[in-house]
A and B are shown apart, each in its own frame.
Chain A
C-alpha cells in the first residue's frame, strides 16, 4: 500500500479539461518519470500530487491514504522546483531548515538534519552563503537539500535541470540518480527531455494531451513502443518513419521499395496502409540492400550521422564506423533483423 496510487484522476479548469482520467501506480521506492511534450499535463499532474492544484475527479493515494483534501504540508511530500524557489533573504542553512523551523523543531535537531543533508550534497562549505552568491548547480543542490531535510515519503521534481547548461545537466543527472540509490525514496520526476527519462527512471510514463500514452520500463518503451507517438518520442535521434503498404505479406513503400519485415507478424495485419519504423542506430551501410541517397554527413567523433533519402522519405542513420560516403552518393542500407516496427497508418497503434 505504500508508494503513490493515481486512480482515474481528472483536472478541468472551468469548462476546459486538461487531464482526462489518468491512472498510474508508483511502487514504494520507485523512480518514475513523467515525460511528454509541453502542455501534455505532466506538471499539472505533479502539482496535483503535491497539493498545489485541486483534483477535479479521481483519487490520489500517498502511503496508503487518500490525500485529495489534505493540504500540501500534511501529505509528507517534498518538491524541487524548476526555478529552485529558494528564499533569497535566508542563508543556505536557513533555507534547508525552514520546514523544520515552521514545525518548531528545536535548533539542535534542525542543525543535525541540515548538516546531514549538506554532507550528502556536498554543500557543507556553503551553508552560510545566500542564494544570490551561488551558481545554478549549487542552487539546485540546495533545493534538493531542502527536500531531503524534510525526509518525506515522496520526492517530487518539476523539471529541475531545465535551467542548467548541457554539461551541468549531465552531471546533475547522475547526482540525482546517485541520491535516489542512496536514499531509496519514492520519486516522481517530471521532464520534457527523454534522455533524462531514459537514464534515470525505473519506470517511464509517457503523456500527451492529458492522457497516458504508455507506461513501462525504459528499455521496454525503447524496444516495443505502443504507438507512433511513443516510438517517435523515445530515442534520439528519433525513429525513422516510412509510410508504406502491407500487401500480400510484404512491406512496400510508395516508391516501390521493399522493406524487410519479420514474417511472423504477417497474418495478424492484413492488407492495409502502415507506417514502417526503424531506429537510426539499427541501420548499417552495406554493399546491397535498400537503396538510399546521401544528403548530409555529420561526423560526431564516436559515430557518424547520415541524413539520407529512401525514395521520397528522409531518413536518418547512425553508424559506428567511419565512412567515406559523401553527399550525393548512392549507398545501400541494411536493417538489423527484427528491429523494425510497424504501426497502423490510421491511428498509430502498434501492429507487430
Chain B
C-alpha cells in the first residue's frame, strides 16, 4: 500500500489536511515521512503477530485440506481430495452433538454468570471496609488455576470423599452424583463453570456501578423509589451496555471450556458433555487425526468470528452518543 493510496483514502474527510492534498494525488513530504514512520513502528508488532497467529492459522487451514494422520506419514500434504474432511464433518453426528452441547453450555453459563455477577455486584456496591474485604474474597474462584477449580469440583462431586455428600448422608438424602448421570452431567459442569467465572462479570459490573452518577440515584430516591425500584428502573438500564460487553466476553470464553470437562466427565457419560473443542482435542491428540480436526477447528473459528461480529454490532449500535 503506497503512501499515495493511503493518502487518497483520506479524501473521505472534507477539510482534513490529507483530503485537501489528496485531491492532487500527491502528499506533502512530511505526511509521507509520518506514514513511513508509523509503518516502521508497527512493523515489528505486525511481524510477531503474523508469525504467532497468522502463520499457524494458515497452516491449520492448509492441513484441513489433507487427511493428515500423524501415525501415517503418507497422509501429509496429500491434496488429492481437498474437501474430504469438510464432507465428513457434514455427516459427523458426534460433531453435531458437540455443537449442540456447546450451545447449551454457552447459553446457560453466560446467563447464569451475568445474573450472579449482577446480583452480587449490586449487593457489594457499598463502600465500607467490610465490603471491600468481602469483595476480594469473592474474586478467589476466578483467580485459582482452572485445573485446581476442576479438581475441587471433582472432589465435591465424588460421593465417597465429598463434604457435600457427607452432609447429604447426615440429612438422610440419597442423591446420585450428577457427573455420571446423563441428565445432570452438563448441569454439574454449568454449576462449576458459573462458580469459577461469575467474579469476572461481577468485577466488570462493579466498575460500571462505581462510575454511575450519584445524582441519578438520589433523584430517584427523592422521587420515591424503593431499593428494588431503584435497581429495576435506574441501575439496570444504566448497566445495559456493560452487561452486553461482559456477556460477550463470557460467551467467547465459554467456547474454550476445557479443564472442567477433562477432569469431571471426560466428555461423558457417553457424549453428553462433549463440547466442540473437546471433540477436537480427542480427534487431534488421542487419534492424531490432525487433518480432520483442523477442518473442524476452521469451521468453529468461522462461527466464532461471525458470532462476535454480530454481537459487537448489536452492542455498538446501542451506544449512539453520550448519555
Contact = CB atoms under 8 A, between A and B. Distances in A.
Interface of A: 50-52, 71-73, 77-79, 81-83, 85-89, 98-99, 102-103, 131-132, 146, 150
- Looking at B216, B222, B238, the one whose CB has the most chain A CB atoms below 10 A away is B222
18 contacts: A73-B225, A79-B219, A79-B222, A81-B215, A81-B218, A85-B218, A87-B219, A87-B220, A87-B233, A87-B234, A87-B237, A89-B238, A89-B323, A98-B220, A98-B233, A99-B223, A132-B321, A150-B223
Given A81-B218, A87-B216, A98-B233, A73 B322 contact: no
Contacts of B225: 73, 102
A133 to B, nearest CB: 9
B222 A88 contact: no
A87 B235 CA distance: 10
- Looking at B223, B226, B234, B238, the one whose CB has the most chain A CB atoms below 10 A away is B223
Given A85-B213, A98-B233, A102-B229, A52 B218 contact: yes
A146 B240 CA distance: 24
A52 B223 CA distance: 12
A150 B222 CA distance: 10
B213 A83 contact: yes
Contact of A52 (B221, B226, B321): B221
Nearest to B225: A102
B14 interface: no
B13 interface: no
Contacts of A103: 224
Interface string B304-323: 00000000000000000111
A48 B120 CA distance: 30
B295 to A, nearest CB: 46
Given A83-B215, A85-B216, A89-B237, A132 B322 contact: yes
B182 to A, nearest CB: 44
Given A83-B215, A85-B216, A89-B237, A77 B224 contact: no
A102 B224 contact: yes
Nearest to A147: B222
A72 B193 CA distance: 42
Contact of B222 (A78, A86, A132): A78
A349 to B, nearest CB: 39
B215 to A, nearest CB: 4
Contact of B223 (A73, A89, A131): A73
